[in-house]
Amino acid sequence: MSHPLIRVLVVDDSPFMRGVLPPKIESDPRFKVVGTAVDGRDAVEKTLALKPDVVTLDIDMPVMNGLDALREIVRLSPASVVMLSARTEQGAAITLEALALGAVDFIPKSRGVDRIHEKLLAAVEAKAQKTRASAPKPVVALRPAPPSRAAAGARINAKICVIGSSTGGPQALQTVLSQLPETLPVPVVVAQHMPPNFTKALAQRLNDLCKPAVVEAEDGMALTRGKIYISPGGMQTRVTPTEIRISADHGESLYKPSVDVLAESARGAFGKNVLGVMLTGMGGDGAAEMTKLHKLGGFNISQDQASCVVYGMPRTLFEMGGADEVLPLDQIGPRIRTALGC
């Protein structure tokens, strides 16, 4: 049985990009480009007329810029929006603003818009997830969460907290980390799937919004209690008992940074004394190593399906039996506080 084509609207004021993107998108037979738009106003009108599943939206455009068009599309249409972003520092900051306004994900324009099909699929899954979350809930027997080895609200003997996230992660991280106190008794290290520059902008944004200091991790940085470290994009991040180690990827993972790589190093450095947190994201990065951590005696919190933008990484962790507690997004920050006794 064939599945319906995923309908995509391409929006860019550049004739070059409007020429390049449609055939690249349609090189995967699951996708059909239903139209192109040349500016923000054109984008809004064609989104309403063509009813695409996904809109790829440039930011810097005439008549109406991408952020203003995004606001209108989010308000008027159920389509998911994936931003096309410059890799510059300024482009990264604007992209984070777009994610805060409701864009599902972004694709850096350079390097041939890598992994565009994966990003579009994640956007479609986000749309489906939103539909499921807003639908009336049938009265059915739900699969119970795996039993926790700690009572609800119990303190966890952790020396580090490791957080993994991907699609929908920047906003989820803002929700969770902004609920944490300045007096965190352990370091927190985050692996968010993002390219270079974007993780620096993310760290700066979170630092402005959160009580603990938030920095982009650098090789050789000391692991300090009360500080939050964002793994740099394009590299792999590991921890030792005392410091952060950053290195180029040598084929360890498709993702740079990888949650699996980070979690494996945390398990090696701290044994069972690790608090793991898995947030929204496509795929299954981090589930294997966090499950090993769970089996060793560590403790993992997984975001629930209803509050995820994409229920991929948390679902994989849950299905592998590695989640000790499953919580909605707005309860994860407070649970981290009680787990760490702060």
pLDDT in tens, the chain (342 residues): 456 789 999 999 999 989 989 999 999 999 999 999 999 999 999 999 999 999 999 988 888 888 999 999 999 999 999 998 876 667 788 999 999 999 999 988 765 566 788 888 888 888 787 766 655 544 333 444 444 455 556 788 899 999 999 999 999 999 999 999 999 999 999 999 998 889 999 999 999 999 999 999 999 999 999 999 999 999 999 999 999 999 999 999 999 999 999 999 999 999 999 999 999 999 999 999 999 999 999 999 999 999 999 999 999 999 999 999 999 999 999 999 999 998
Mark whether 128 and 168 lie in a shared domain: no
Mark whether 168 and 251 lie in a shared domain: yes
**Residue of 53, 165, 193, 307 marked catalytic:** 193
Residue 186 lies in a domain: yes
pLDDT, residue 128, reads: 80
Strands 244-247 vs 236-239: parallel, antiparallel or unpaired: antiparallel
Q: How far apart are the C-alpha atoms of 279 and 274, rounded to whole Å?
A: 16
**C-alpha 324 chain-centroid distance:** 21
Mark whether 124 and 164 lie in a shared domain: no
Residue 325 lies in a domain: yes
* Domain ranges, residue 188: 160-340
Mark whether 88 and 216 lie in a shared domain: no
Beta bridge partners of 19: none
- Number of neighbouring beta carbons within 10 Å of residue 294: 22
**Residue of 13, 285, 304, 324 marked catalytic:** 285
pLDDT, residue 125, reads: 86
Is 2 marked active-site? no
Mark whether 165 and 127 lie in a shared domain: no
Q: How many residues does the chain have?
A: 342
Query: Which residue type does 328 have?
Result: P
Mark whether 186 and 296 lie in a shared domain: yes
Is 39 marked active-site? no
Assign residue 255 the CATH number of its domain.
3.40.50.180
Tokens 């738009």 correspond to 37
Is 12 marked active-site? no
Report the candidate in 173, 225, 240, 248 with the shortest Cα–Cα distance to residue 340: 225
Structural tokens at position 28: 């995967």
pLDDT, residue 242, reads: 97
Mark whether 129 and 213 lie in a shared domain: no
Mark whether 188 and 322 lie in a shared domain: yes
CB of 169 within 8 A of CB of 99?
no
- Give Cβ neighbours of residue 80 (< 8 Å, ≥ 6 apart): 53, 54, 55, 104, 123, 124, 126, 127
pLDDT, residue 339, reads: 95
Q: Which pTM value belongs to this model?
A: 0.89
Residue 88 lies in a domain: yes
Assign residue 50 the CATH number of its domain.
3.40.50.2300
pLDDT, residue 139, reads: 39
Mark whether 197 and 321 lie in a shared domain: yes
Residue 222 lies in a domain: yes
Residue 152 lies in a domain: no
- Number of neighbouring beta carbons within 10 Å of residue 184: 22
Mark whether 121 and 168 lie in a shared domain: no
Number of domains, the chain:
2
Mark whether 63 and 194 lie in a shared domain: no
Residue 145 lies in a domain: no
Residue 139 lies in a domain: no
**Residue of 80, 85, 165, 166 marked catalytic:** 166
Burial of 103 (0-12, 13-18, 19+ CB in 10 A): buried
Residue 149 lies in a domain: no
Q: List, edge to edge, every strand of the sheet that includes 6-11.
A: 31-37, 6-11, 54-58, 80-85, 105-108
Mark whether 101 and 183 lie in a shared domain: no
